Amino acid sequence: MTTVARVDVGPVPFDATNPRLAVKTLLELVNSGVGQPVRLVNAYCVAEASHDPIYRNLLRGKGINLPDGTPVAWIMRHRLHDQTVATVRGPGLLPALAAAGRKTGLRHFFLGTTDETLNKMTEKLQARYPELIVAGTYSPPFAPVSEAFIADCVAKIEAAKPQVVWVGLGSPKQDYVAAAIAERTNTVAVGVGAAFDFIAGTVREAPMWLHGTGFEWMFRLAMDPKRLWRRYLFGNTLFLKIAVTQEFRRKQLPETN
């Protein structure tokens, strides 16, 4: 496995990575044959983990966390003095792995969103990558995470025999589901948030000129203010507080030779 540095942003340990390195890491995880959850963690997730001990333990447990969000990547670059660290976004990671896995016949399963979105997304991906193997898709009923919910998803996945399961259920729900799926199906389970909708075109993505500015969230908020206002207003404020406090405390530590 490729060795990468790790750095804590708030209570969450992140792999110091970028889109190219993230694809390499996922392929190595698949080749290892060991089930592993992969989480794309943003500022909201860090904020949630700061006051939810169960979620915090999940993010600090088995699996890897990749920086999904410009503010997280900024802090990591600053802490590590490494300008190669960059945001890993679901809408970019999924197609990139689809392209990279064509030669080896990588089998993908897509879990989440709606049947309509799943159909549109797989059509677009297979038009772009004709060799792409979609082992299966499943849009589970809207319900909280429970043993019945997990068992239902696992049954569909086991029947399809994929190597990578993409989970688009939104955080933190998808992180709990991905952890359970990875353990029970021995697959690499990747939580990718709204990536399915963005790739399918059922939800508008922030324009490219906003990517990397730290203001993509403003575009998403404008598109869906009723659902996202609380997430961004309180989540971003708490994340900023966490980041500033952590940096202040770090600077108070005595230097070591």
pLDDT in tens, 94-133: 999 999 999 899 999 999 999 999 999 999 999 999 999 9
Higher pLDDT, 243 or 107: 107
Q: What pLDDT, in 10s, does the model give residues 149-170?
A: 999 999 999 999 999 999 999 9
| pLDDT, average across residues 132-149 | 96
CATH of residue 188's domain is 3.40.50.10700
Asked, for residue 85, whether it belongs to a domain, the answer is yes
> Which amino acid is present at 50?
S
* CA distances for 192 relative to 41, 70, 91, 148, angstroms: 9, 16, 8, 22
Higher pLDDT, 156 or 244: 156
Q: Which of 218, 140, 206 is nearest to 173 (CA)?
A: 140
Asked, for residue 89, whether it belongs to a domain, the answer is yes
Give Cα 4 to chain centroid, integer Å.
18
- What is the CB neighbour count within 10 angstroms for residue 143? 10
Asked, for residue 251, whether it belongs to a domain, the answer is no
Number of domains present in the structure of the chain: 1
Asked, for residue 183, whether it belongs to a domain, the answer is yes
Asked, for residue 18, whether it belongs to a domain, the answer is yes
Give the chain's mean pLDDT: 89
Contact of 55 with 49, CB cutoff 8 Å: yes
For residues 147-160, b (16+ Cβ closer than 10 Å) or e, as one string?
Answer: eebbeebbeebeeb
Confidence of residue 60 (pLDDT cuts 50, 70, 90): very high
The pLDDT value recorded for residue 224 is 66
Confidence of residue 257 (pLDDT cuts 50, 70, 90): very low
- State the virtual CA torsion across 147, 40, 93, 26 in degrees, nearest 10: -70
For residue 52, pLDDT over 90 is answered with yes
Q: What is the domain extent for residue 72?
A: 6-197
For residue 184, pLDDT over 50 is answered with yes
Instruction: List the structure tokens of 211.
Output: 């990517």
Asked, for residue 134, whether it belongs to a domain, the answer is yes
Asked, for residue 257, whether it belongs to a domain, the answer is no
Confidence of residue 239 (pLDDT cuts 50, 70, 90): confident
Q: Which residue has the tokens 């060795």?
A: 3
Instruction: List the structure tokens of 155.
Output: 């049954």
Asked, for residue 215, whether it belongs to a domain, the answer is no
